[in-house]
Amino acid sequence: MQSNKKYIVWIGILAVLLALSVGVIAGMTVQQKMNGGENRDTLVEGDGPAPPAPAEAPDPAEREEIAPEDQAYNQENTQNDTNVNDQQNNTNSTPSGDTPVARYGALQVKGNRLTDQYGNQVQLKGISTHGLSWFPQYVNEAFFRQMRDEWQVDVVRLAMYTAEYNGYCTGDEGNKQTLKNLVSEGVNHATNLGMYVIIDWHILSDSNPLQYKEEAKQFFGEMAERYQGYDNVIYEICNEPNSGTSWQDIKSYANEVIPVIRAKDPDAIILIGTPNWSQFVNEAAADPVTGYDNLMYTLHFYADTHRDDLRNTLQNAYNQGLPIFVSEFGITDASGNGAVNRDEGNKWIDLMDQNGISYCIWSLSNKDESSAFFKSSCNKTSGFTNEDLSDQGAWYLDVLKR
Ligand code: IDC
């Protein structure tokens, strides 16, 4: 009798334990459902989908110190920018895989051609930002990645206006710092992703580059100091000299700014603007800057305004041996607005493709103007779909797939 009682007591205890554990499991299931099917606190490692592998993880040995102003910018923006840690960890890493920079390495100029590190001709295709002061939001790594992976963009041009409202030379010190931080963020994203990047001293209403020559020397000195040894950084020392600025003035400016860059960065590609809003490449072809390697000259066009005449100018200067980079173009009229002229745009693309000439389209913005890449109703900053693109933007994505 005694042992039977004991037996019944044990069965009772076991039954209570069983009931308790069923209750716990049921409660957990409800909790998981409330959390959208996943209860992070109760899941143990190994449950659920594997975390994504870190893309292009840097070799720690290759990391370099981040410039103090980048750190300050990153700290300020930590709450808004979830990529800040990636950016810090990957700064100046060498990405592996099939990226533009992995394919071509340090670019060179051979005769009138842009070439890869081995001397094979290279044609880069890319997009220019609008003014960084006004449309800074497109400088983010998710979008740069989309440009590289979905759109086959090799190069991003960072357009930093020097004059105009909040230009580098016309705004206050805080603005100058903000612009430098944006340039540095853009270069970091491009570097992490193995893309080329153009640092563009975007003169425009300041028609003659001699006007802010001292500021330019200071700026490019800092950039070259920071980016010496980067294979992907290209310097564009003056966007578009205009309003009668002579080639002699541009040359004398170039002859002061280039040595400042070369003192730190002996072989990065340097782009030089030409007279009349970077159209008179014939003047540069007749009298190029001498004494330095890896220089190129820019021609800019807007296809609804500039047609056969300017195409002939480009072809003749190129045939004369001038290395030309079309660092900015649109298929609208020269104001950056008006009709989108696909037919003339296609003629320009054919010409540049036949000659292997590199190009960047204007521009990454959602401004209500036809050269803007995005519709003005689109407020995204990454993850764009075809519906978000302007007419010119949609045309260009087709061009990039040709
Ligand atoms: C235009 C912009 C426009 C802006 C204007 C002045 O599209 O939104 O108001 O500059 O800042 C260039 C220049 C480029 C111009 C573009 C279109 O390099 O800055 O952008 N353009 O006018 N050269 C020829 C055309």
Q: Is 336 in the pocket of ligand 1 (CB under 6 A)?
A: yes
The amino acid present at 185, given as its one-letter code, is E
At 190, phi and psi to the nearest 5? -60, -40
Structure token pair of residue 180 = 């430098």
Ligand 1, from 335, 369, 370, 374: best to mutate by most atoms within 8 Å of Cβ?
335
Whole-angstrom distance, CA of residue 243 vs CA of residue 302? 18
Q: Which atom of ligand 1 is nearest to the CA of 328?
A: 18
Going from the C-alpha of 205 to that of each of 148, 157, 240, 256, the distances in angstroms are 32, 19, 9, 21
Give the sign of the dihedral formed by CA 183, CA 186, CA 188, CA 191.
negative
Going from the C-alpha of 188 to that of each of 214, 266, 342, the distances in angstroms are 26, 21, 34
Q: Is 206 in the pocket of ligand 1 (CB under 6 A)?
A: no
Residues with catalytic annotation? 240, 328
Q: Is 328 in the pocket of ligand 1 (CB under 6 A)?
A: yes
pLDDT recorded at residue 10: 53
pLDDT recorded at residue 89: 37
- Which protein residue has the closest C-alpha to ligand 1 atom 24? 334
- pTM assigned to the model: 0.80
Q: Are strands 108-110 and 113-115 parallel, antiparallel or unpaired?
A: antiparallel
CB of 298 closer than 8 Å to CB of 263: no
Distance (Å) from CA 336 to ligand 1 centroid: 6
Print pLDDT tens along the chain (402 aa): 444 555 555 554 544 444 444 333 333 332 332 232 222 222 222 222 232 332 333 232 232 333 332 332 233 332 233 333 333 334 444 556 799 999 999 999 999 999 999 999 999 999 999 999 999 999 999 999 999 999 999 999 999 999 999 999 999 999 999 999 999 999 999 999 999 999 999 999 999 999 999 999 999 999 999 999 999 999 999 999 999 999 999 999 999 999 999 999 999 999 999 999 999 999 999 999 999 999 999 999 999 999 999 999 999 999 999 999 999 999 999 999 999 999 999 999 999 999 999 999 999 999 999 999 999 999 999 999 999 999 999 999 999 999
Q: Is 327 in the pocket of ligand 1 (CB under 6 A)?
A: no
CB of 102 closer than 8 Å to CB of 195: no
Q: Which atom of ligand 1 is nearest to the CA of 336?
A: 17
SS3 content of the chain, % helix, strand, coil (to 5): 45, 15, 40
Distance (Å) from CA 337 to ligand 1 centroid: 9
Distance (Å) from CA 200 to ligand 1 centroid: 14
Q: Is 306 in the pocket of ligand 1 (CB under 6 A)?
A: no
Ligand 1, from 245, 306, 328: best to mutate by most atoms within 8 Å of Cβ?
328
Q: Name the nearest CA neighbour of 185 among 148, 152, 144.
A: 144
- Which protein residue has the closest C-alpha to ligand 1 atom 19? 204
- Which protein residue has the closest C-alpha to ligand 1 atom 25? 334
Angle at 213 between CA 274 and CA 170, to 5 degrees: 105
Q: Is 334 in the pocket of ligand 1 (CB under 6 A)?
A: yes
Q: Is 335 in the pocket of ligand 1 (CB under 6 A)?
A: yes
At 355, phi and psi to the nearest 5? -95, -5
